[in-house]
A and B are shown apart, each in its own frame.
Chain A
């Protein structure tokens, strides 16, 4: 059970800051995903943990001891590279055995460990081939195998699936999940694909511009994104955002707001907790209302539902068979995506009335900070 702790870590390349003071605890025996857009510093953070880069300031601890000055191998951490980084002139067996040979393991021990890893990863029939003779998925497995044989304290994965095609990526994602359960070791996984992070990770760390935006379990991030950035990053398709203004405080728990389209809704916001940024909470202040595509439904014409209705026109339909993503243009120039199931025959240009419940809405102040989470939503 290896815990990795990063304390005030910064990294600059020639005065160009990449990591701006990261404090992070990576729990043992769990998979932590570092996610963020390209250039947010997630891969650099992984390389810092691995020891391929040295932090400009700050400390990195593995199991409580500072490893800043230790070379990669002394940290007992294995890394799987995005490009696999297999040695092209060695066979699969030698690729997996190389680190063990260097470490001075006995021949029988090496053979046993490589065979075991190869079986686990279903590459035991490929041991005599060179990387050239393997497909992308097989190379990926060998790269993982090379990490496994060392029995490291922790695994680092740098976008391991991004070089694979879509079908193979899903399959490898499933196998990584299986492997994660089997190995039960600390894993750090870098990806820009929030779907991968949601399905594989126990904890997700969202990064932007070299700093951590939010850290939590996948569902925590999904339900209670701390700000607009996290809200727009997690979830596919992305959350819809609508402009609104504060009409009045009903009481210290409830806020009356008006959408740009004129509809009003009452949202529960704990005023006490937000008092410190009073100026943002005055009447007339701008807000952003976030609503996920699956929380919008087509308003039933037969029965009247209590809540807010949005009227718009279908502008695009992505029909996936079992469900459809319907893009609706609202008269005020805003657009929303709706996930609809069942009968998915929506003609483009058709008028549609959407229904939303105020308890499903994420409310962000004019700085983009969330004013409440949605923890109380029951799991479906």
Chain B
């Protein structure tokens, strides 16, 4: 018994640095945001904030712009994540095959993911510029469009543009995760399926996909959480456009631009809960697969 308690003391001792770091970088900021969201703190003078209860949240819930941001964020996640998953799976399946130059292709595929978002977003911003952009120029010359398109200015088109650029950027990540999953699948199962006379299409749907499901769900969780928190890409491609504003941009606008720390924090807290809710949903959906097959 004594030995047990001394063991657990040692364990706590070893855990302390990690817990301390976690408290400083995760728990404390989170707690602080929660506290600020219940005050009328201003950026100019955070220390003299007054406790105003749930007033910020009440204001937030009747703000049409906030609900617009929520809708935009959910739509963005709903369109970009499935596109990335399907494209990523296709690329992963190709990269899983043995062919000449596979190593080079694997490295090349990763390039969009390796570029910092701020750089790639700015790069796409220039390429998609409605007056000087190369994309409009090319499309007009090819005769695909009659006149230059306002890629990042028109409400619907800018949403499509943002989704497309995100798909371009994040598909490699999805492909890499799924490729790792594919490579970990038991090869003999596929040989057994060949002996059983299963067609390639059926092998894919009846064996590859069910076996890949746990990996796919984890990849989807990662990507959905990322998509719900999306900030930099949208901020650079269509800054200040309420048609594409996401929850994190809304929170930043109120927090920084309007210096309304309390209200901005309330928006951040809501974003936190939306992300948490989606995570719980995914984990419940995938529990059987992730925990069951571990």
Q: Which residues of A contact B (CB under 8 A)?
A: 50-52, 71-74, 77-79, 81, 83-89, 98-99, 102-103, 146, 150
Q: Are B211 and A89 in contact (CB under 8 A)?
A: yes
Q: How far is the CA of A103 from the CA of B193 in the complex (A)?
A: 12
Q: How far is the CA of A255 from the CA of B166 in the complex (A)?
A: 88
Please pick, from B193, B194, B206, B211, the residue contacting A88 in the complex, using a CB distance under 8 A: B211
Known: A102-B198, A102-B202. A81 touches B192 (CB 8 A): yes
Please pick, from A51, A77, A85, the residue contacting B192 in the complex, using a CB distance under 8 A: A85
Interface pick from B143-151, B183-191, B217-225: B183-191
Q: Are A85 and B188 in contact (CB under 8 A)?
A: yes
Q: Are B191 and A81 in contact (CB under 8 A)?
A: yes
Q: How far is the CA of A73 from the CA of B196 in the complex (A)?
A: 6
**Which residue of chain B lies nearest to A156 when distances are taken between CB atoms in the complex?**
B195
**Which residue of chain B lies nearest to A150 when distances are taken between CB atoms in the complex?**
B196
Most chain A CB within 10 A, of B191, B195, B197, is at B195
Q: How far is the CA of A88 from the CA of B187 in the complex (A)?
A: 12
Interface set, chain B 82-108, CB cutoff 8 A to A: none
Residues of A within 8 A of B49 (CB): none
Residues of B within 8 A of A52 (CB): 191, 194-195
Please pick, from A86, A89, A103, the residue contacting B197 in the complex, using a CB distance under 8 A: A103
Cβ of B207 within 8 Å of any chain A Cβ, yes or no, is: yes
**Which residue of chain B lies nearest to A95 when distances are taken between CB atoms in the complex?**
B192
**Which residue of chain B lies nearest to A50 when distances are taken between CB atoms in the complex?**
B195
Q: Are A71 and B186 in contact (CB under 8 A)?
A: no
Q: Are B196 and A99 in contact (CB under 8 A)?
A: yes
Cβ of B53 within 8 Å of any chain A Cβ, yes or no, is: no
Q: Are B197 and A85 in contact (CB under 8 A)?
A: no
Q: How far is the CA of A85 from the CA of B189 in the complex (A)?
A: 5
Task: Return B155 CB to nearest CB of chain A, in Å.
Answer: 44
**Which residue of chain B lies nearest to A83 when distances are taken between CB atoms in the complex?**
B188
Q: Are A81 and B211 in contact (CB under 8 A)?
A: no
Known: A85-B186, A88-B186, A88-B189. A78 touches B211 (CB 8 A): no
Q: Are A73 and B195 in contact (CB under 8 A)?
A: yes
Known: A85-B188, A88-B293, A89-B210. A102 touches B197 (CB 8 A): yes
Q: Are B188 and A87 in contact (CB under 8 A)?
A: no
Residues of B within 8 A of A99 (CB): 196-198
Task: Return B193 CB to nearest CB of chain A, in Å.
Answer: 8
Q: How far is the CA of A183 from the CA of B188 in the complex (A)?
A: 25
Q: How far is the CA of A77 from the CA of B191 in the complex (A)?
A: 13
**Which residue of chain B lies nearest to A89 when distances are taken between CB atoms in the complex?**
B210
Q: How far is the CA of A4 from the CA of B196 in the complex (A)?
A: 19
Additional 18 contacts, C-beta under 8 A, given A85-B188, A99-B198, A150-B196: A51-B195, A52-B191, A71-B194, A73-B194, A73-B195, A73-B197, A77-B195, A79-B192, A81-B188, A83-B188, A84-B188, A85-B191, A87-B207, A89-B211, A98-B206, A99-B196, A102-B196, A102-B197
A sample of 17 cross-chain residue pairs with beta-carbon separation below 8 angstroms, ordered by A number, consists of A72-B194, A73-B194, A73-B196, A73-B197, A74-B197, A77-B195, A78-B195, A85-B186, A85-B191, A85-B192, A87-B189, A87-B193, A88-B186, A88-B189, A98-B193, A99-B197, A102-B198
**Which residue of chain A lies nearest to B192 when distances are taken between CB atoms in the complex?**
A85
Task: Return A79 CB to nearest CB of chain B, in Å.
Answer: 5
Residues of A within 8 A of B202 (CB): 102
Residues of A within 8 A of B193 (CB): 87, 98
Q: How far is the CA of A81 from the CA of B198 in the complex (A)?
A: 17
Residues of A within 8 A of B194 (CB): 51-52, 71-73
Q: How far is the CA of A31 from the CA of B197 in the complex (A)?
A: 24
Q: Are A98 and B195 in contact (CB under 8 A)?
A: no
Q: How far is the CA of A83 from the CA of B207 in the complex (A)?
A: 17
Task: Return B60 CB to nearest CB of chain A, in Å.
Answer: 44
Known: A85-B189, A88-B293. A72 touches B211 (CB 8 A): no
Residues of A within 8 A of B195 (CB): 50-52, 72-73, 77-79
Q: Are B197 and A87 in contact (CB under 8 A)?
A: no
Q: Mark B273-293, 1 if CB is under 8 A from A, else 0.
A: 000000000000000000001
Q: How far is the CA of A228 from the CA of B189 in the complex (A)?
A: 39
Residues of A within 8 A of B199 (CB): 102
Q: How far is the CA of A346 from the CA of B60 in the complex (A)?
A: 94
**Which residue of chain A lies nearest to B209 when distances are taken between CB atoms in the complex?**
A89
Residues of B within 8 A of A51 (CB): 194-195
Residues of A within 8 A of B186 (CB): 83, 85, 88
Task: Return B208 CB to nearest CB of chain A, in Å.
Answer: 11
Most chain B CB within 10 A, of A84, A98, A150, is at A98
Residues of B within 8 A of A85 (CB): 186, 188-189, 191-192
Q: How far is the CA of A74 from the CA of B191 in the complex (A)?
A: 14
Interface set, chain B 114-140, CB cutoff 8 A to A: none
Q: How far is the CA of A255 from the CA of B194 in the complex (A)?
A: 57
**Which residue of chain B lies nearest to A147 when distances are taken between CB atoms in the complex?**
B195
Q: How far is the CA of A52 from the CA of B188 in the complex (A)?
A: 11
Q: How far is the CA of A98 from the CA of B194 in the complex (A)?
A: 12
Task: Return A170 CB to nearest CB of chain B, in Å.
Answer: 25
3 closest Cβ contacts across the A-B interface?
A: A73-B197, A85-B188, A99-B196
Q: How far is the CA of A72 from the CA of B186 in the complex (A)?
A: 19
Task: Return B97 CB to nearest CB of chain A, in Å.
Answer: 17
Most chain B CB within 10 A, of A86, A87, A150, is at A87
Interface set, chain B 240-294, CB cutoff 8 A to A: 293
**Which residue of chain B lies nearest to A87 when distances are taken between CB atoms in the complex?**
B189
Q: Are B211 and A98 in contact (CB under 8 A)?
A: no
Q: How far is the CA of A79 from the CA of B23 in the complex (A)?
A: 57
Q: How far is the CA of A86 from the CA of B207 in the complex (A)?
A: 11
Residues of A within 8 A of B207 (CB): 87
Q: Are B188 and A98 in contact (CB under 8 A)?
A: no
Q: Are B189 and A98 in contact (CB under 8 A)?
A: no
Q: How far is the CA of A84 from the CA of B194 in the complex (A)?
A: 14
**Which residue of chain A lies nearest to B211 when distances are taken between CB atoms in the complex?**
A89
Q: How far is the CA of A79 from the CA of B191 in the complex (A)?
A: 10
Residues of B within 8 A of A78 (CB): 195
Task: Return B105 CB to nearest CB of chain A, in Å.
Answer: 21
Q: Are B198 and A98 in contact (CB under 8 A)?
A: yes
Residues of A within 8 A of B189 (CB): 85-88
Task: Return A141 CB to nearest CB of chain B, in Å.
Answer: 15
